Amino acid sequence: MSSDYEFSDNEGEYYDSDEMMDDYQNDDDEEMETYEYNNNNNTNDNDYDYTNDDDFRIPTKSKSKSYQVEYTSLTQSLVEKAMKEEVDHVSGIFGVEPSTATLLLRHSGWNKERLIDKYMENPTQVLVESGCQVPEPIPSSSSSHSVDDKSGSGSRRATRSSSKLSLLSSSITSSNRSSSHKKISSTSDSSTTFTCPICYDDSPSLTALSLTCAHSACSGCWNAYAISKIRDEGEHCIRCMTEGCAIVAPDEFIHSVLRDDGKDLIRFQELVVRGFVASNPKLKFCPYPGCTNTVSCPSAAGKSVLSTLVPIVSCGARGITSSASNQNQNPSSFSTSSALSTTTTTTTSLHNKEHIFCFGCPIESDHRPVICAVARLWMKKCEDDSETANWIKSNTKECSQCQSTIEKNGGCNHMTCKKCRYEFCWVCMGPWSEHGTAWYSCNRYDEKGGVEARDAQSRSRASLERYLHYYNRWANHEQSTKLSLDLYAKTEKKMSDMQITSSLTWIEVQFMKKAVEALEKCRETLKWTYAMGYYLGRGNEKELFEDNQRDLERAVEDLAELLEGGGVEMEKEKENVGGLRQRITDKTVYVQKRNEIMLEDTAIGFQDGRWKWNVGVDGFEEPIEDFGGVV
Amino acid sequence: MDARLRRVNKEIADCKNDKTSNISLELIDNSPFHLKGSFPGPEDTPYQGGRFEVDIIIPDSYPFQPVKMKFITKVYHPNVSSASGAICLDILKDAWSPVLTLKSTLISLQSLLCSPEPNDPQDAEVAKHYTTSKGSFDETARYWTQIYAGGPGKKEAKGLRGVKDEVAIAGLEKAHVDQFEGLGFPRNKVIDVLRRLNYRGANVAQISEDRIVEELLKS
């Protein structure tokens, strides 16, 4: 169990608690409103906590704001439960054992409908393909085949009535059982000596294990094989070791083979769950390292909806967990450890970061307000070296004869290409011969060849400047977000100082932390608005967007200044901590309101199809204009 | 005893006892986990008469993970890198099974030489050569067998010891190389460009001389 994890979760709970709100309410009425707004989501959390037990970490968010999506966070055990339901359902319909049903479902990518269709058509084939049954090589078995087929086709006709189905399938079961039942045949060899075909060990104490295919190997080899598959390949579909044998080991077999090796067993279970989650478009595994939660977000399951909403979700957990062992934690263990919570203030914010990610794309942060497709375009643009090319284009010229790239670093305008010895004028790019003897003064600006070369050059220069405008602001906010870690540390120190120097209690100085958190969040939003601004097509809509952006930017900078510079002021205003607190709280609320407006407005814009891009984006109309801005 | 060591020792012993397959395994250094295997080139192929050596590294998780094998002897084959000897064979990757042994894997390599898989190539240039002009490919593969794997036709090679025919190694026609060398390009450059363009067999008619000169100027 990692105590880190407990801390963080606890801390979250701590801040979320109503206690804090109450405190503010007692304090003064003006602030009550502001914090109520602040705690909107958190109150939901708490409501939830009271009504439910251990199932969900985060409640189904009521879709109160248009920039939020509805989602549910599931723990691994919940996903396992869902898996088990599917398995039991299929197992009931087919009348096969749950372990067989598991393999069937896994093989069909958890597509129950297709599996049922296929199974009704030809159960034997499906069983063989899924690695549950050995293909029958003897033609004499064809009689049993036909029985299967008959019952199969018969039951297909009767798909509506499940009771009939299970009756019919019982006949299938009986024929299957003969082969699939003795899955784990362990034979402690006593009379005939068994030699493991893998390790060549023949000691009499050896335990031979085999799947339905009866290809035996010693338990030690099975153990090493399973561990190697799980650790090295991350594979949960573990086949028989014999070459060409397609029989898949059922989970119970793997469990027994792994014995008490806790870590690998947990990893195996995780791989199984991951497989299930990956095959379901409504589910996504939390991408944070060590986290085993899953988020269910049915409203963002299709590709097409991603052009109208940004499905930012959170799995509810916080921090980076070092081991996977805490997945079995239940809320009771949280509450028991709450006594430790006082020490949590020292943990850095990074370790305490909520697991926020995008359900629709691999970006592991909140890229609202911009939609996935545009965010991806921007990321790619920033990663690409295309901007290096842009630099070359704006700072160099090409020899108009051999196309060598030339950077002029001094000298006169009479250029001679080093490579092809072509002589030209750097100013007009035309051949020098046209200039006659007019050294240093290019009076032939409009001369034919020169015009074209210059046009291309200025276009690329404008594009670079435009990009850099947006990129610099984007990068600045990213940098500031990173630096906010330091700000956190500083703020924490200030908070503890305040407790000493003023009469404020711990809970009363939390406004500093709140402010820093709001700042970080808004910077994240601002950062992405620049990516959006870069691709937004010109027009009134864009101007409105940029107005909102400007307001948010201003509010953020104001608050940042107050926080960063607050230390000095605080020294002066030792008597007046209350005033500082008031100002910061006001600003915090304002910043959050601006952020809200920004997100809300863009989200509604997406729903109304108001935004137009200057590049082609999937799910949108053609770019409205091409002003040479985007390369 | 360590299961892996026991298994490898047994495999080496088995190989020694088995005289029929003509496959040998020997230690490269003192470790039993770094071996050199060798097998004769299969009959009725351009590799006939040669003996091919393979570098074998046995990983810690052997036999549950596949052995690492690559050719020491240079081989002209679509599924073997002509530069590094890396092998593209499914059983050395995802189709590996723990019941496969070093011997059976070497036999699989032997049969890979019999039946190349040019659609899943390791060496794209060689694969192109194979698919466009099989006759010329066979000749080159035979020549490689002769000079690198000690294949038949040794006498000839002995006479020219050290002076390996670069043109034949690249699978090109001497006349073609001479033609472009005559234009003033260095010989090794000509060989390089012609090989890259697959200037062989029926392909010769497809590639204009201008194109080759262009490439030669570019490189």
Q: How far apart are CA A355 and CA A370, in angstroms?
A: 19
Q: Give percent of chain B above pLDDT 90.
A: 32
Looking at residue A324, what is its pLDDT?
Answer: 37
Q: Are residues A98 and A112 in the same domain?
A: yes
Question: Which has the closest alpha carbon to B193: B179, B74, B202, B85?
Answer: B179
Looking at residue B114, what is its pLDDT?
Answer: 92
Nearest to A200 among B10, B91, B97 (CB): B10
pLDDT in tens, A579-588: 778 888 899 9
Asked, for residue A615, whether it belongs to a domain, the answer is: no
Average pLDDT over residues B24-34: 89
- Contact criterion met (CB below 8 Å) for A340 and A6: yes
Asked, for residue A382, whether it belongs to a domain, the answer is: no
Contact call for B7 and A199, based on CB within 8 A: yes
Range(s) of the domain holding residue A131: 77-180
Using N-to-C axis directions, what is the helix angle for A262-278 and A76-94, rounded to 10°? 70
Asked, for residue A388, whether it belongs to a domain, the answer is: no
Question: Which has the closest alpha carbon to A2: A444, A329, A413, A445?
Answer: A329
Q: How far apart are CA A408 and CA A355, in angstroms?
A: 51
| Whole-prediction pTM | 0.67
> A390-404, B55-69, B126-140, B198-212: which has the minimum mean pLDDT?
A390-404
Put simply, the chain B residues between 39 and 98 with a CB less than 8 A from any chain A CB are 61, 63-65, 91, 97-98
Looking at residue A160, what is its pLDDT?
Answer: 33
Instruction: Give the DSSP per-residue string, A27-89.
Output: H-HHHHHHHHHHTHHHHHHHHHHHH--SSBSSPPPP--STT----EEE-HHHHHHHHHHHHHH
* Boundary (domain end) residue, out of A421, A446, A471: A446
The pair of three-digit structure tokens given for residue A223, joined into one six-digit string: 């153990």
Q: Are residues A67 and A89 in the same domain?
A: no
Identify the contact set of chain A against chain B, taking CB-CB distances under 8 A.
197-201, 217, 220-221, 224-225, 228-229, 232, 241-245
Q: Are residues A495 and A603 in the same domain?
A: yes
Place of tokens 């090295």: A232
Q: pLDDT confidence of B164, banded at 50, 70, 90?
A: low
The pair of three-digit structure tokens given for residue A526, joined into one six-digit string: 């601002």
Q: Does the pLDDT value for residue B180 go beyond 70?
A: yes
Asked, for residue A378, whether it belongs to a domain, the answer is: no
Q: Are residues A26 and A66 in the same domain?
A: yes
Looking at residue B106, what is its pLDDT?
Answer: 94
Contact call for B3 and A244, based on CB within 8 A: no
Asked, for residue A408, whether it belongs to a domain, the answer is: yes
Residues of A in contact with B7 (CB under 8 A): 198-200
Residues of B in contact with A229 (CB under 8 A): 64
Q: How far apart are CA A57 and CA A48, in angstroms?
A: 9
Catalytic site residue from B57, B72, B86, B88 = B88
Looking at residue A92, what is its pLDDT?
Answer: 92
Report which secondary-structure segment, H or E, holds A315: strand A312-318
Catalytic site residue from A213, A218, A315, A412 = A412
**What are the boundaries of each domain within chain B?**
3-114, 124-218
Asked, for residue A59, whether it belongs to a domain, the answer is: yes
Average pLDDT over residues B161-178: 78
Q: Are residues A229 and A90 in the same domain?
A: no
Nearest to A241 among B3, B6, B99 (CB): B99
Q: Are residues A604 and A504 in the same domain?
A: yes
Asked, for residue A519, whether it belongs to a domain, the answer is: yes
Nearest CA in chain A to B104: A243
Indicate the SS3 state at residue B182: coil
Nearest to B99 among A197, A224, A232 (CB): A197
What are the 10-residue block averages of pLDDT along chain A, 631 residues in total? 40 40 41 38 39 43 70 90 92 91 91 91 91 73 38 35 36 38 42 79 85 89 90 88 89 86 86 90 88 88 83 82 41 36 39 80 84 87 68 72 72 73 75 58 56 70 80 85 78 78 76 85 90 88 91 90 67 65 88 92 88 82 57 39
Q: Pick the residue with more confidence: B156 or A373?
A: A373
> Which of A225, A245, A258, A403 has the highest number of chain B CBs within 10 A, making it the mutation to test binding with B?
A225
Looking at residue A346, what is its pLDDT?
Answer: 36
Q: How far apart are CA A615 and CA A612, in angstroms?
A: 9
| Model ipTM value | 0.81
The pair of three-digit structure tokens given for residue B182, joined into one six-digit string: 């005559």
- Known active-site residue A412: yes
Q: Are residues A231 and A344 in the same domain?
A: no
Q: How far apart are CA A613 and CA A601, in angstroms?
A: 16
Q: Are residues A405 and A468 in the same domain?
A: no
The pair of three-digit structure tokens given for residue B48, joined into one six-digit string: 């006939």
- Shortest distance, CA B63 to any CA of chain A (angstroms): 7
Look at domain B3-114 and name its CATH class: alpha beta
Q: A–B: how many Cβ contacts below 8 A? A: 42
> A155-159, B31-35, B105-109: which has the minimum mean pLDDT?
A155-159
Q: What angle do CA A214, A220, A221 make, to 5 degrees?
A: 60
Q: How far apart are CA A291 and CA A355, in angstroms?
A: 9
- Contact criterion met (CB below 8 Å) for B74 and B148: yes
Nearest CA in chain A to B4: A199
